Structure formats: structure tokens, C-alpha cells
Amino acid sequence: MNNYDVIVIGGGSGGLTVAAGAAQFGAKVALIEQKSGLGGDCLHYGCVPSKALIAAAKEIHEVRKNGMKHGLEVKGVTDWSVIRNQIQSAVDTIQEHDSTSRFQNLGVDVHHARAVFLDEHHLRLSSGKTIKGKRIVIATGSSPVIPPIENIEQVKVITNESLFYMEHLPERIVMVGGGAIGMEMAQALSRLGSEITVVDHSDMLFKKEDKEIAEKMQKEMEKELTIHLGARVNKLENNQGEITAVIEGEQEKRVGIDALFLAVGRKPNTEKLQLDRAGVELDEEGAVVVNDRLQSSVSHIYAIGDVNGQFPFTHGAGEEGKIAVSNAVFGLKRKMNYENLPWAFYTQPEIFHLGITEEEAKTKLGEDYTVIRASKADRMIAEQDDTSFVKVILDKKGFILGAHGIGANASDWMQILVMMKTNGQKIRELSSIVHPYPARTEIVKQLADQYWRKKLFESNITKLTSKYISVFR
């Protein structure tokens, strides 16, 4: 039997961070991944292929839109096989960095197998081996939820795990779910030529976002997509080979479809691990319950990434991996803090989210906060971009509580606010940072102008300076 200092179950972003970090610090490490390649959902089914798809869809959309704008007629049908090859090329290029051989060269024992717990220290692999670990890190990620839909077997079902490897692009798709995955893919597939109908049970899209941002974004999405809110798809009907989705809401509607895309949420991959043998506690959703040090109910077993249900984004899993390495390998007691972790939706325009929303500020602080907004920076005006918008929530001292943006490349030009919030800098410090004119980041610098306008021109200071100038200058 092989004994390890650290066993990592799952070869995604979080698991690879732990395996590489622990091995480089001298620990004896085993990495278990049931698929033939490392990289996890992000590389094979999520972040990488989806952004490659979005980029291709954006290019096609821009060609058509700008051609029409300038009097050109653009015709033709998208070649899905070409786009699929571009997606695979992006995955293959990044896969080289996440190769099995790279981790083996770091000293990691890589096992491509499934694992189940025998007890709190021992794992049985599908290869037949039994291994033991002083510390174990669970990083098995999550999978798409498949909702109960009557007659679902009669139509092609798509999830993020099958989308990028389809042979053909369906003509008519009903997108069940209007979350991040649903809206990113709905918009991209629509731009590639599919007829997309989005169905979501909520009364509003992007409900976790600041309401002002969500409302702006919903209007943008409605320009390109047919959207039914407060509705569900509970069954499909087959009328002589024509498949229809029955959309149940305020009014019942029927939509002919060629495929059903399921994006209603994700569930933690814990079901097959037999964690009860190790005494690891799960919550009602099947996620591993962890403390702020990422320890499960069994102190030497950690859980990071989607499997713990805390922050379902790849960069969050990477940060949790760093904390897990510190605590599992060195016995430190570092705590995971999510307050300064942003997220973004890579729709067009993009959404950026950091910290609390204005609605959350009202609930937590009453009236003890300030909101500053900015829009229409010169670069955006020059590019006829009338959508870009920034909103920041501040405490009374000018520290950033939340920052929210919408616009082209918002995930890039909002990053300076992440640095400022992380470093505890006040919004006024933006005034001392010079941006090359007319960079898109000027929209963020406008926030400092708004702040000073409120602080100076709406206060008694203006009266004092006016009197000083009239008397002494």
C-alpha cells in the first residue's frame, strides 16, 4: 500500500493547485483524476471552451452588425465544424500546461481512476489499488443538474459537458435556465445561427447582481433572445415527430425545438465518493460542509472548489487551493475570505461583480453608505458604446464595499477596483492614478471625480475657498 502526505481527489483548477504546491514544498502527493486528461471542467467543459465559443460568436456577430451598419450585405451559414476545431485547439494548447507528465515531473503520483473512501484515511481506486493519506483534499467539482422533464428522452439534450463536442449545431434550442452558463451560451449560440428561447423560473435575470446592473443587462439580452421569465419547461410533446416544449407560466406556450439545453444549476460531485465511510458531513445539496479553513467535519479532510458549494468559480477554487496547501501541508490555520473575490459573466456586454450590491448595503447598513456612478467615458462614446456603466458602493469613509460594472471588456477595466478593495484603499486614491487617454479605464477614474464632487462641491469647503479666493487671490 502506498502512503502519502497529501492525496488530492480531482484534477481541476483547485486540485492541480494543491497537488503542484504540496509537491513543490516536498510533500509526497497522489493526484486522482477519473478522466484521461487533467484540467477539470474549466478546461474541458467550462471556462476555456465557452470563451472560445463566445469569441467566435462575437466575431460573426460583429461582421454582420457592422456590415449592415456600413451598407454591406453579409450572407452565409456558420460552419460549426470550423468553430468546434477552434475550440478544441484552445483546449489542447492549455492541456499541455496541465499534462499528466508535467505533474509527474513535479513528483506527483497521478492515478487516472475513480476513488471511494474506505475510511477517513484510506481510498480504494478503480484500478484496484488502495492508498493511504495523512491529509486528503476533495476537489471533485460539480455536474449539471438534470431536472425532471416529462418525455425528455425524445429530444437531444445538451449540457455544458456535451455542447462543445456536438457534430452539428441544432437549429432550434430551448435554454432551460437563465444563469451565467445559460445566458452566455444562449447569446453565443444565437449569434451562430440557432433560434434560442430562454426559459427561467425567476421573474428577473441575473438576480444575484446589483439590481441596476441586472435591469440594464436584461434589456440587452432581450434585444437578441426570446426570453420567458417566471416560467418552466415541465414536459415535451411529440406530434408526429415534431417535438414541442411546453412552457408553463402566466400563459402556456408551445415552442418547436430540435434540442433542449439544460442550464438550471450544478450539483457537487460527492455522490460516488462514499464519504459516509469517512464521517464527512454533507449539506442538503450534497456539498461538503467546510469551515473557514476549508476543513470538513473530519479535520484532516479538506474540500475546495465547487464541491464545497462556497464560491462556484474557477479562480475561487484556485485561491481555496492555496489555503488548503498552507493548512494541510504546514498545519497553518489560514482562513478563506471571499469578500475581495470578484466574478464576471462573459456575455456581451460583460457583467462584473465585486463585494455587496446596493440592495445588500440597504439591508446591512440602512442609509449609512454612498453610491457613485460613472458612464459615457470618451473612449466609449468614440466607439458608440452607450451601455458601459460603473457603480460603486462606499462606506462613509470612502472605502469600497462593492463595485459593479457592465460593458465591453468590463472584466478587464474594473480590475483596479479589486486591487483597491483588497488593499484597503479609499476611492479618492483613484485621482492620483494617471490613465493614457482615452483608455476605457477612464470610466473607472470618473468615480473619483464623482466622489470629490460630492465631498467638496456639496460641502461648506466650497464656501470657504470661495471667500479665500475673493479676499486673497
Q: CATH number for the domain including 192?
A: 3.50.50.60
| HEC string for the chain | CEEEEEEEECCCHHHHHHHHHHHHCCCCEEEECCCCCCCHHHHHCCHHHHHHHHHHHHHHHHHHHHHHHCCCCCCCCCCHHHHHHHHHHHHHHHHCCCCHHHHHHCCCEEECCCEEECCCCEEEECCCCEEEEEEEEECCCEEECCCCCECHHHCEEECCCCHHHCCCCCCEEEEECCCHHHHHHHHHHHHCCCEEEEEECCCCCCCCCCHHHHHHHHHHHHCCCEEEECCEEEEEEEECCEEEEEEECCCCEEEECCEEEECCCEEECCCCCCHHHHCCCECCCCCECCCCCCECCCCCEEECHHHHCCCCCHHHHHHHHHHHHHHHHHCCCCCCCCCCCCEEECCCCEEEEEECCHHHHHHHHCCCCEEEEEECCHHHHHCCCCCCEEEEEECCCCEEEEEEEEECCHHHHCHHHHHHHHCCCEHHHHHHCCCCCCCCCHHHHHHHHHHHHHHHHCCCHHHHHHHHHHHHC
463 pLDDT above the threshold of 80: no
24 pLDDT above the threshold of 60: yes
pLDDT level of residue 473 (50, 70, 90 thresholds): low
Task: Please say which residue of 303, 330, 357 terminates a domain.
Answer: 330
Contact yes or no for 145/229 (Cβ under 8 A): no
437 and 293 share one domain: no
Lowest-pLDDT range, 82-91, 115-124, 210-219, 449-458?
449-458
pLDDT level of residue 76 (50, 70, 90 thresholds): confident
Residue 291 is predicted with a pLDDT of 98
- Predicted confidence (pLDDT) per residue in 134-191, tens digit: 999 999 999 999 999 999 999 999 999 999 999 999 999 999 999 989 999 999 999 9
- Predicted confidence (pLDDT) per residue in 275-316, tens digit: 999 999 999 999 999 999 999 999 999 999 999 999 999 999
The chain-wide mean pLDDT, for the chain, equals 93
Give the residue numbers of the binding site for NAD(+): 177-184, 265
207 and 248 share one domain: yes
Does residue 470 lie within any of the structural domains? no
Q: Output the CA–CA distances (angstroms, integers) from residue 185 to 17, 195, 203, 206, 305, in the order listed.
A: 28, 12, 20, 14, 22
Residue 250 is predicted with a pLDDT of 87
Mean pLDDT confidence for 50-62: 94
Q: Which of 213, 185, 184 is nearest to 354 (CA)?
A: 213
Does residue 400 lie within any of the structural domains? yes
297 and 389 share one domain: no
Residue 465 is predicted with a pLDDT of 58
260 and 272 share one domain: no
pLDDT level of residue 390 (50, 70, 90 thresholds): very high
Does residue 434 lie within any of the structural domains? yes
- How many domains does the chain divide into? 3
Residue 460 is predicted with a pLDDT of 59
Does residue 20 lie within any of the structural domains? yes
Residue 462 is predicted with a pLDDT of 54
161 and 131 share one domain: no
pLDDT level of residue 41 (50, 70, 90 thresholds): confident
36 and 127 share one domain: yes
pLDDT level of residue 454 (50, 70, 90 thresholds): confident
9 and 123 share one domain: yes
Residue 277 is predicted with a pLDDT of 98
Does residue 465 lie within any of the structural domains? no
Residue 461 is predicted with a pLDDT of 56
pLDDT level of residue 433 (50, 70, 90 thresholds): confident
208 and 77 share one domain: no
296 and 244 share one domain: no
166 and 69 share one domain: no
- The domain in which residue 132 lies consists of 2-144+267-330
What b-and-e string marks burial along 314-327, b requiring 16 or more CB atoms within 10 Å of the CB? bebbbbbbbbbbbb
Give the residue numbers of the binding site: 51, 140-142, 177-184, 265, 306
122 and 14 share one domain: yes
204 and 275 share one domain: no
Give the residue numbers of the binding site for FAD: 51, 140-142, 306
Residue 467 is predicted with a pLDDT of 62
458 pLDDT above the threshold of 80: no
Residue 420 is predicted with a pLDDT of 96
Q: CATH number for the domain including 445?
A: 3.30.390.30
44 pLDDT above the threshold of 80: yes
CA-to-CA distance for 418 and 99, rounded, in angstroms?
31
Does residue 342 lie within any of the structural domains? no
Does residue 389 lie within any of the structural domains? yes
Does residue 386 lie within any of the structural domains? yes
262 pLDDT above the threshold of 70: yes
